[in-house]
Structure 1
Amino acid sequence: MGTIAKLNAAHPFTATIPVSVTEQDGIELVEEEVMALAQPAPHFFPDEKFTDQPERVLAAEMIREKILNLLRDEVPHGIAVSIERMKERDDKDLLDIDATIYCERESHKGILIGKNGTMLRRIATLARKDLERFFYIQVNLQCWVKVKEDWRNKEGLIHNFGLDNGE
């Protein structure tokens, strides 16, 4: 049985809609078909929450996203971000975040920091802007880069970085 036949057997199609993304043709028909077939699903968390992830995980992922966007070809995905401290100041509306960026090689550390720290400042500046929009507060973001060779193969480190889905 071919791939298409297996797909049809597992998920029988109710409609076939020709679509051209480049011409923006058929998109509305797809939306209509999906909405007609959509089923209500249970809430997995309260209505006032829009994610089940802790704030520290979200902050770490925002920083990691900037790294991957800025260095997509230079540094492999073997980086992790750990939020070491995240505390709002008592005396003013300011959130202090200390983050450590872990990479697997010394050469990656140099790329992440950049000449005279320019890349790390760029990463932190872009991440800080996103963090401020997300948390609705001014953010003081401090980032450091450390090498942890072979961290992806060490179960304890994966858990510490929050990359194991809490299991």
Structure 2
Amino acid sequence: MQNEAKHKAGFVSIIGKPNVGKSTLMNALVGEKLSIATPKAQTTRHRVTGILNGDDYQIIYQDTPGILEPKYELHKRMMHYVQQALEDADILLIVVEPHEQWEESALVDYLTHTAQPIIVAINKADTSEQAKLAQAVEYWESRLPNAKAVIPVSALYHFNLDTLLSALLSYLPEHPPYFDKEQISDQSERFFAAEIIREKIFLLYREEIPYSCDVQIFSFKEKEHIIHIQADIIVERESQRKILIGKGGSALKQVGVAARKELEAFLGKKVYLELHVKVIKNWRRQERWLERLGYKKP
């Protein structure tokens, strides 16, 4: 009798600096839009999971906030998610851009000494000449000599993702599935609803508005043919509230229309979306409000 093929399962933490396309890469690898992605830096604030299931494997990707120097309490909690993801990972997927180089830091020191398998994905390969890409591969092979592979990819155009997946699977440990095979994330629909609304704010507003906002779902009621969602958009100042709402509510209506369209596609039902804007002064520095918005204390 032949032995059954061993099942593999494990956690792959996606680490990188802001705006390198980590979220787009995770979405492309999972085949679902789970992590919000915009051209602006620091879009990701939480540790977002995406689950990829094969016949004999399960990869739990963890998209993390971009690495930054914390300026206030929200940033500290974001960086704590990165630290947790580093510690929890079976494999570390480091995402960089073709021209990116890293100075000496605590993270580089950790990566060069860890026993965890490291794979470097040089994203946005479509934006660089072959000679430059070859130089980037050489740089990262030298910078992280313990990396198992350095692979140029394009998350946007799905270039070389099969090569990246093969590399990840080769270092995935043998383990039964951690989650149901039909599951694509361990986060709730309420979480994704808040993230979709926040993404539209990042896309539709400029300057400080997106960074001063967060979204709190205070009602999520699912009926047979429709889901009623009520959400507060939190801002720090009255002037931001006025900009977010716009003249006669026109700007907020744009957010609602764009968010509702994506929510319906994501949830597979009609959505009634009601948005309100609330001013909470300096919420990014208030521990109580950070807890209420789901940013757990380290």
TM (normalized to structure 1)?
Answer: 0.77
Give 2:217's aligned residue: 83
C-alpha displacement of 1:16:
6.0
1:65 counterpart = 2:169: no
Output the aligned Cα RMSD. Answer: 3.2
How does 1:105-116 map onto structure 2 within 5 Å?
A: 105-116=237-248
| Alpha-carbon distance between aligned partners in 2 of 1:28 and 1:112, rounded to the nearest angstrom | 38
The answer on whether the counterparts of 2:201 and 2:210 sit within 8 Å (CA) in structure 1 is no
Distance change in 2, residues 1:50/1:41 (3 Å): farther
Give 1:52's aligned residue: 186
Which one has the bigger strand percentage? 2
2:294 is aligned, of 159, 162, 166, to: 162
Distance change in 2, residues 1:44/1:65 (3 Å): farther
C-alpha displacement of 1:69:
1.3
Which one has the bigger helix percentage? 1
C-alpha displacement of 1:114:
1.1
| Alpha-carbon distance between aligned partners in 2 of 1:32 and 1:52, rounded to the nearest angstrom | 21
The answer on whether the counterparts of 1:74 and 1:111 sit within 8 Å (CA) in structure 2 is no
Quick one: percent identity of the two aligned structures? 35
Q: List per-residue Cα deviations over 1:78-123 (Å, max 9, x = no partner).
A: 211111111123xx51111111101001111111111211110000
Secondary structure at the aligned position of 2:207 is classed as: coil
1:100 counterpart = 2:232: yes
Corresponding letter in the other structure for 2:182: E
C-alpha displacement of 1:46:
2.1
Q: List per-residue Cα deviations over 1:40-84 (Å, max 9, x = no partner).
A: 465443222211112211111110111011114251412111111
| Alpha-carbon distance between aligned partners in 2 of 1:50 and 1:102, rounded to the nearest angstrom | 28
Q: List per-residue Cα deviations over 1:121-145 (Å, max 9, x = no partner).
A: 0001111011111111100001010
Distance change in 2, residues 1:27/1:52 (3 Å): closer
Give 2:167's aligned residue: 34
C-alpha displacement of 1:159:
1.6
Q: Could you list the structure 1 runs, at least 4 aligned residues long, displaced by more than 6 angstroms after superposition.
A: none
| Alpha-carbon distance between aligned partners in 1 of 2:275 and 2:160, rounded to the nearest angstrom | 43
Distance change in 2, residues 1:36/1:97 (3 Å): closer
The answer on whether the counterparts of 2:236 and 2:280 sit within 8 Å (CA) in structure 1 is yes
1:127 counterpart = 2:259: yes
TM (normalized to structure 2)?
Answer: 0.46
C-alpha displacement of 1:20:
8.7
Residue ranges of structure 1 left out of the alignment (5+ in a row): none
Secondary structure at the aligned position of 1:123 is classed as: helix
